[in-house]
Structure 1
Amino acid sequence: MEQREIEIFLMLADELHFGRAAERLHVSTARVSQTIKKLERRIGAPLFERTSRRVELTPIGRVLSDELRPAYQQIHDAIDRATAAACGGCERLRVGFIGAATGKFVLEVAEVFRAEHPNCEVQFHEKQFGAGLGPLRGGEFDMLLAAVPVFGAREADLTCGSVLFEGDRMLAVSARHPFARRPSVSFADLAATKVLRTTQAVPDYWDHALVPQHTPEGRPVERGPSFATAQEMLALVGAGFGAYPVPIQATSYHARPDVAYVPIHDAPPYQWRLVWLSAAETANVRAFDQAAATLAEARRT
């Protein structure tokens, strides 16, 4: 089997969807289908069961996937080690983060990571929320730690790590706003004020996960001016141009006399994850994600 055939087979085994597998590999759906048919002819048995509603591995396909995956990973790890050796054993991992609270966590993860990978230099890059996923896709860094929705098929080229930590949602409002005198607000209250919007660099579904288009009762949520950075958002809020939901960590890292933070009592918490390009995944990326998960778990116990 050629390397590309193995990649296509294993990706389809993961996704169980020809279209999503093709998107993640940046090939056509026809290429995926042709490759699988070629493998099935070579092996002499179906590897996938296909219906109009689902794709599933056959027993033979499952055995092939289980046996191929460790060997394929060993090949990638060997290439990573050889690449590191070619540059004198010096490796580099660039980690992006959004906000001071996430930056502090990234620094702590880096200390755990360096204990096991002393030859890998970890570089840190703060990015503004309005930049969205552009810098990650543009190769400015290898991983991003941010409060992001679960992408699923909508961002098929990305891999999300596990939830590392959470934070309650607060509504940032002007200190002069009537909400500032309340102990808490609800999602329904968003219809009673303008809510700021992020720049267009953030996908619509990501924006809607942060600010619903309608309240639970179906009332539309009016949107206010746009912002690209946290400081722009806070300046607009403080001046009374609108409100915006933020994680509870903002009360410590972005305390301002003109801004009040009010709990949103019926909102799910923000969840922070590491995210990276699936095609650019390396042993160091996986190791850093594991170090982050280990540190997060230690903090919860």
Structure 2
Amino acid sequence: MCPDCVLSLREVAVLDAHEPLRSGEIDVLAHWLVVGSPGFTIGPRITRRPRALAVAAGHPLARERSVSVEALADHLVPNWAVGGLDDRLRQAILPVRTPSGRVLRTHPEPVRTVAEAASLIARGKVVHPTVQMRHFGNDQVVLVPIHDLPPIPLGLVWRTSQENARIRALARVARDLTSGRLSPR
């Protein structure tokens, strides 16, 4: 489709995933499509990930088949408020209140990285809503499905002012792959 293009994958910091787009380090970001930002185009959805609660392997909720989002109010959650996760993303992933209005209580220790959050989870200090994945990066963390939160879409995002033929071609391939019109090689 674009023989002169090279696709390379690299990881970006979850705390400010849009910064590499803003700085021009990357052209397109695969990210959670939970919030829009001025100056960015939300492209095609690649997948939707079911929600899960990350808990310590020895936590009482680790034995459950699934949990309700209401369970979040019974436990401390990570304190991303200090220089951590983008506020809009944090609210989309970690609500301030449960649907019934119960306020979530945060751990007093601020969290700045995913590794810090994983450490608190593994030690049973907090629980954290996330998405279903193979593992959380720590064998002391168990993921329990959350049955009453909607899945989070993952898709492509790019700077609107930098959109070009290559980005449109990548977005077209992503749409074709997810719609079944194109098979992955």
> TM range, normalised to the smaller chain?
0.7 to 0.9
Alignment of structure 1 residues 1-301 onto 2, 5 Å: 116-151=1-36, 155-198=37-80, 200=83, 202-224=85-107, 225-249=109-133, 252-254=134-136, 256-298=138-180
Q: 1:255 deviation in Å? A: 6.0
The C-alpha deviation readout for 1:198-247, integer Å capped at 9, x for no partner, is 46353322211111111122111012244444433322210122111121
State whether residues 148 and 206 of structure 1, in contact with CA within 8 Å, keep that contact through their aligned partners in structure 2.
no
CA distance in 1, matches of 2:172, 2:55: 37
Contact 1:133 1:202 in 2 (8 A): no
Quick one: structure 1 residues 299 and 253, their matched pair in 2 at CA, closer, same or farther if it must change by over 3 Å?
Answer: farther
Identity rate, percent: 32
Deviates more, 1:120-129 or 1:170-179: 120-129
Provide closer, same or farther for how the CA distance between residues 202 and 259 of structure 1 changes in structure 2, counting only shifts above 3 A: closer
Distance 1:258 1:201, change over 3 A: closer
Q: Which runs of 5+ in 1 are unaligned?
A: 1-115
Distance 2:165 2:85 in 1: 29
- Assess if the C-alpha contact under 8 Å between 1:133 and 1:201 holds in 2: no
The answer to whether the 8 Å contact 2:70/2:100 transfers is: yes
Task: Flag the structure with more relative contact order, 1 or 2, with Cα contacts below 8 A and sequence separation at least 6.
Answer: 2
Q: What CA distance in whole angstroms lies between the structure 2 residues aligned with 1:196 and 1:136?
A: 27
Could you tell me which runs of 5 or more consecutive residues in structure 2 were left unpaired when the two chains were aligned: none
Deviations 1:129-149 (A, max 9, x none): 113322221222111001131
Structure whose CA Rg is larger: 1
* Distance across 2 between alignment mates of 1:167 and 1:299: 21
TM-score, structure 2 as length reference: 0.87
Contact 1:130 1:227 in 2 (8 A): no
- C-alpha RMSD over aligned residues: 2.2
